[in-house]
Amino acid sequence: MQVDHHDLYQEFPEFKDAIDVLKAGNAYFTRQFASYNRLTGKVEDLEEHDMPVADFTIEDMKKQRVKLKDEIYHLLLAFRAGQQSVKA
Protein backbone atom coordinates (compact mmCIF):
# COMPACT_ATOMS: atom_id res chain seq x y z
CA MET A 1 0.00 0.00 0.00
CA GLN A 2 1.28 3.48 -0.92
CA VAL A 3 1.68 5.52 2.26
CA ASP A 4 2.16 9.29 2.31
CA HIS A 5 4.85 10.36 4.75
CA HIS A 6 4.04 13.34 6.93
CA ASP A 7 7.45 14.57 8.00
CA LEU A 8 7.21 18.07 9.47
CA TYR A 9 10.17 19.29 7.42
CA GLN A 10 8.23 18.31 4.28
CA GLU A 11 4.96 19.66 5.63
CA PHE A 12 6.51 23.04 6.55
CA PRO A 13 9.58 23.52 4.33
CA GLU A 14 9.44 27.29 4.86
CA PHE A 15 9.93 26.74 8.60
CA LYS A 16 12.93 24.38 8.46
CA ASP A 17 15.24 26.81 10.26
CA ALA A 18 12.60 27.66 12.86
CA ILE A 19 11.98 23.96 13.52
CA ASP A 20 15.70 23.42 14.11
CA VAL A 21 15.98 26.41 16.47
CA LEU A 22 12.88 25.45 18.45
CA LYS A 23 13.91 21.79 18.70
CA ALA A 24 17.24 22.91 20.15
CA GLY A 25 15.91 25.48 22.59
CA ASN A 26 12.25 24.94 23.44
CA ALA A 27 11.38 21.88 25.53
CA TYR A 28 7.64 22.17 24.91
CA PHE A 29 8.13 22.36 21.14
CA THR A 30 10.52 19.40 21.30
CA ARG A 31 7.90 17.29 23.15
CA GLN A 32 5.17 18.22 20.66
CA PHE A 33 7.52 17.51 17.74
CA ALA A 34 8.40 14.09 19.21
CA SER A 35 4.73 13.28 19.89
CA TYR A 36 3.83 14.18 16.32
CA ASN A 37 6.61 11.96 14.95
CA ARG A 38 5.67 9.02 17.19
CA LEU A 39 2.00 9.25 16.23
CA THR A 40 2.85 9.65 12.55
CA GLY A 41 5.08 6.58 12.74
CA LYS A 42 2.26 4.53 14.26
CA VAL A 43 -0.27 5.66 11.65
CA GLU A 44 2.13 5.05 8.76
CA ASP A 45 3.08 1.64 10.16
CA LEU A 46 -0.58 0.60 10.41
CA GLU A 47 -1.28 1.80 6.89
CA GLU A 48 1.90 0.40 5.38
CA HIS A 49 1.43 -3.08 6.80
CA ASP A 50 -2.34 -3.02 6.29
CA MET A 51 -2.78 -4.09 9.91
CA PRO A 52 -6.28 -4.88 11.09
CA VAL A 53 -7.50 -1.96 13.17
CA ALA A 54 -10.92 -0.39 13.59
CA ASP A 55 -11.55 2.54 11.26
CA PHE A 56 -12.39 4.85 14.17
CA THR A 57 -9.06 4.01 15.84
CA ILE A 58 -6.94 5.11 12.90
CA GLU A 59 -9.20 8.11 12.27
CA ASP A 60 -8.82 9.15 15.91
CA MET A 61 -5.05 8.86 15.59
CA LYS A 62 -5.13 11.01 12.46
CA LYS A 63 -7.26 13.62 14.23
CA GLN A 64 -4.74 13.71 17.09
CA ARG A 65 -1.97 14.14 14.54
CA VAL A 66 -3.80 17.06 12.90
CA LYS A 67 -4.21 18.74 16.30
CA LEU A 68 -0.50 18.34 17.01
CA LYS A 69 0.41 19.64 13.57
CA ASP A 70 -1.86 22.65 14.04
CA GLU A 71 -0.32 23.42 17.43
CA ILE A 72 3.19 23.06 16.01
CA TYR A 73 2.27 25.37 13.14
CA HIS A 74 1.04 28.03 15.57
CA LEU A 75 4.23 27.69 17.62
CA LEU A 76 6.23 28.20 14.43
CA LEU A 77 4.16 31.26 13.48
CA ALA A 78 4.65 32.75 16.96
CA PHE A 79 8.38 32.10 16.76
CA ARG A 80 8.60 33.78 13.36
CA ALA A 81 6.52 36.76 14.57
CA GLY A 82 8.85 37.11 17.55
CA GLN A 83 11.86 37.10 15.26
CA GLN A 84 10.33 39.76 13.03
CA SER A 85 9.44 42.00 15.97
CA VAL A 86 13.05 41.78 17.21
CA LYS A 87 14.34 42.84 13.78
CA ALA A 88 11.97 45.80 13.54
What tens digit of pLDDT does each residue of 31-87 get? Answer: 999 999 999 999 988 888 877 777 788 899 999 999 999 999 999 999 999 876 545
Compute φ and ψ for 6, nearest 5 degrees. Answer: -115, 55
What tens digit of pLDDT does each residue of 9-25 get? Answer: 999 999 999 999 999 99
Give CA separation, 68 vs 13, 37, 51, 83, 84, in Å: 17, 10, 24, 23, 24
